[in-house]
Structure 1
Amino acid sequence: MLFFDMSIIAKYNKLSAKMDSTLTFYTFANALGLVIVGILLYFNVSRCDFQVKRQALTELFLSTMIYIAIDIPWTYINHGLLLKTTLTQVASSYVLAIAAIYLISSWLTYSFTISGKTKFDFKRFLKVIRIIDISTFVILALLMFINPDIWVEEGSITLLFYIIVFGPMLLTLGFIGTYSFIRSGQKIHYARKREYRLNGIGPFVLIVFTIFQMMNNDSPILVYGMIVSMLLIFLSVILFQTARDPLTGLNNRNQLERIITNIGKEKQTDKNYILVMVDANDFKHVNDKLGHVKGDEVLQCIAETLISVCQKYKERPLVCRYGGDEFVLFFKDTREEEIQDLQELVNAELARRLQGFNVSVSIGYAFWNGDMEQYEACFSKADENMYAKKKKFKD
């Protein structure tokens, strides 16, 4: 037993002698990164938010942790702390490259969820991303294992590896960041302007840290960049969670009132806004007959239908869930004739998506010039027009 204990101590001392202060610091930084991102992952899983967005962010945090975890043995192999041969170096580099690709594709998927796309669009996009990922894994395996000598030169990973792996990574990060900043400046995304800006900062932070990492491979600079980027993303989620409806992912009543208040502060009463009230017909019957779980699914489908139909407008409206089975659309710079067939379009799309459910909506609207003193009257008028449509439906 004593011999066994002494052998463990001897192995530990041998390993400690090999590890200089730089590698010790590198290990500590990666461990810290795993802990911090792990905490973010825990809070994200347990929080209440739109399912698709929470799922995408969970995968982003998980892919970040996988990359950080794989980076530790990769570094040990390349510094001789673990078995260092051409094969182990190429194999560990291949696994690290897969982790990097997965991280970037997860980031790209998450950026897609904040663009207001429907669940159907998200699933279709996710399939495309998965096909690209798998194809890249296969091609990279062929490139790296058919001729492993071109990836390792005199015991060190060649520049070609960093260009192949980190080059596309930097380009994709630049695309995500630029895409977010462009959308933050577009009028149709005025409700999510600050969210897009915050999500645009993270990729550029990681780009800077990645470049410094490539210049100094022995320092854990990239890990710190990942920590900062993930904290920025999670901060944006927490800051704007109060503006989102957790069931449908739409803007909620608070966000609508915040935007209306900001417009009122401009004190311009010559604007042309249209406030549209949307209410599901006989929704109580859906809950009573099919249960609240199916009722929630119907509400999600109504939300996705409203988003889908509103994409045809040049100036897309703010789409909100006001409460229960009531929704609000807020149009800017839109003419009345453009929305006169809105109810027919929404109900036709609902009939296609919810075959056999017999779900429809009633829609009423009113005009608002931007004067806060007239907003309540405008809201009441839209509500009154909507209930007039509901009465016709019941009759």
Structure 2
Amino acid sequence: MNSIFYYVEASVFCMILLSIFFYKTVTSIYLEQRQIFFAHAVFYLILYITVDIFWALHYKGVLLLPFLFCFLLNLLQWFLASVCGYFWFIFMESMRGARYVEKSRNRKLIFLPVWIASLALLSSYFFHFPMKVGRDGCIDNMAYYSYMMLLPFFYVTTTGLRSLRQYLREEQKSQERQLLLPALYPVIIIFAGFLQALLLDIPLLCYAYVLVILIYYVTMQDAHISQDMLTQLNNRNSLKRVLRNRFREPGIHQGFYFFMIDIDYFKSINDNYGHLEGDRALKLLADTLRTVSRRLPRRGCFLARYGGDEFILLCDCADDKAAFRIVQQIQQEAASRSRNAGAPYTIEVSVGYVRRDHTIRSAAELIRKADEKLYQYKHVKQTANRA
């Protein structure tokens, strides 16, 4: 009897923690679509734990439930676990920058397995297939837990593997942690789920879910500090930290190139098409820089939004000719991407770059020289256009 009260107390404690995460998320000033997905995952996890408490009380004989009610409780518990896994998948895919989850039609297709599996489980009440229903209305424990965890684990594992693949080729240092952690989550959840099936008196799966939510909540808060919310690139704080580290280790990071990029006539885009279109132009340029940087050696490559329409690229280049080829790639990719996106303008960019050598002794001097090169380039470009 003591074990069931411990189970309930531990579950209620987890619900309180999750409720705090849910409240802090939905009231955040940074609330975006992906945070809404995260909040949904937390909300359905709270409901799942609530139903799990009633099931545990019935299983231990503390709360006697009618046959049909017990079966529906099992069905609801499975459904909530699957919905939670679904929203976690959508959330993690949006964190990876996957655009397909933004469309309602795609999200409905991803949710389709939940409906199909729910109908299959419901049929067990009439046909005792695919699950065998006992005389008390409860489904056989081992078979039920295997079936209940199958779909949520599929969602979590799929997005974990996709995150791992992106981590292995990701150029964004600030995003590496956000990609590596989800790749490890399936290991935690699957291990806890296996133990939960063996040790029913301890809410191990509940602990595992709360641990994962806690880790990622902290990671999201860290992202607000080091990441630009509009473009999902590193922000100026991250840039300062990276430059500070590189100037502390001159022997290791000697000779890298510092590119400063901005959009030509960006004010005209805002004035003529509105600030929402201006935001889209910034996102398109951010995507351009991601694409170009993936073609470069991953080691030492770093992207950031410096402020306004100015972006930074740090990378290793063999010489000035190689650096100029990168400039050409950025310009060509930006123009092509804006045309393919159907934008009512073509994104043109100016780039100033400088090689960090022994004559440049500080990050401020490096930025100043790149800024001078940028405006020299813009002046030459404007003069040529007028001519």
| Alignment match, 1:134 | 112
- Going from structure 1 to structure 2, the CA distance change for 1:269 and 1:338 (only over 3 Å counts) comes to same
Equivalent residue for 1:46, pick from 17, 27, 43: 27
| Alignment match, 1:59 | 40
CA contact (8 A) 2:246 2:253 kept: no
CA contact (8 A) 1:90 1:145 kept: no
Equivalent residue for 2:330, pick from 342, 359, 375: 342
CA contact (8 A) 2:169 2:298 kept: no
| Alignment match, 1:84 | 66
Give SS of 2:226's match. Answer: coil
Give SS of 1:47's match. Answer: coil
Equivalent positions of 1:295-314 (< 5 A) are 295-308=278-291, 310-313=293-296
| Alignment match, 1:226 | 209
**Taking every aligned residue pair, what percent have the same amino acid on both sides?**
22
CA contact (8 A) 1:50 1:248 kept: no
CA deviation after TM superposition for structure 1 residue 57, in Å: 2.4
- Going from structure 1 to structure 2, the CA distance change for 1:195 and 1:49 (only over 3 Å counts) comes to same
Equivalent residue for 2:9, pick from 28, 47, 52: 28
User: Does the alignment pair 1:285 with 2:271?
Assistant: no
CA deviation after TM superposition for structure 1 residue 100, in Å: 1.7
Give SS of 1:373's match. Answer: coil
- Going from structure 1 to structure 2, the CA distance change for 1:82 and 1:363 (only over 3 Å counts) comes to farther
- Going from structure 1 to structure 2, the CA distance change for 1:346 and 1:170 (only over 3 Å counts) comes to same
TM-score by length of 2: 0.80
Equivalent residue for 1:321, pick from 290, 305, 318: 305
TM-score by length of 1: 0.78
| Alignment match, 1:248 | 231
- Which structure 2 segments of 5+ residues have no match? none
CA deviation after TM superposition for structure 1 residue 257, in Å: 1.8
CA deviation after TM superposition for structure 1 residue 314, in Å: 5.9
| Alignment match, 1:15 | none
Higher mean C-alpha displacement, 244-253 vs 358-367 = 358-367
Give SS of 1:58's match. Answer: helix
- Going from structure 1 to structure 2, the CA distance change for 1:186 and 1:132 (only over 3 Å counts) comes to closer
| Alignment match, 1:238 | 221
Partners of 1:304 and 1:45 in 2: CA distance: 28
Give SS of 2:123's match. Answer: helix
| Alignment match, 1:382 | 370
Structure 1 letter corresponding to 2:233: L
Higher mean C-alpha displacement, 272-281 vs 37-46 = 272-281
- Which structure 1 segments of 5+ residues have no match? 1-19
Partners of 1:295 and 1:282 in 2: CA distance: 11
Give SS of 1:259's match. Answer: helix
Partners of 2:121 and 2:51 in 1: CA distance: 20
Partners of 1:29 and 1:237 in 2: CA distance: 26
| Alignment match, 1:208 | 191
CA deviation after TM superposition for structure 1 residue 252, in Å: 0.1
User: Does the alignment pair 1:108 with 2:92?
Assistant: no
Give SS of 1:322's match. Answer: strand
Alignment deviations for residues 312-364 of structure 1 (CA, whole Å, 9 cap, x no partner): 55649433111112111222467433443321221221233252245533223
CA contact (8 A) 1:243 1:255 kept: yes
Equivalent positions of 1:118-129 (< 5 A) are 120-123=99-102, 128=106
CA contact (8 A) 1:78 1:89 kept: no
What is the Cα-based RMSD across aligned positions, in Å? 3.5
| Alignment match, 1:274 | 257
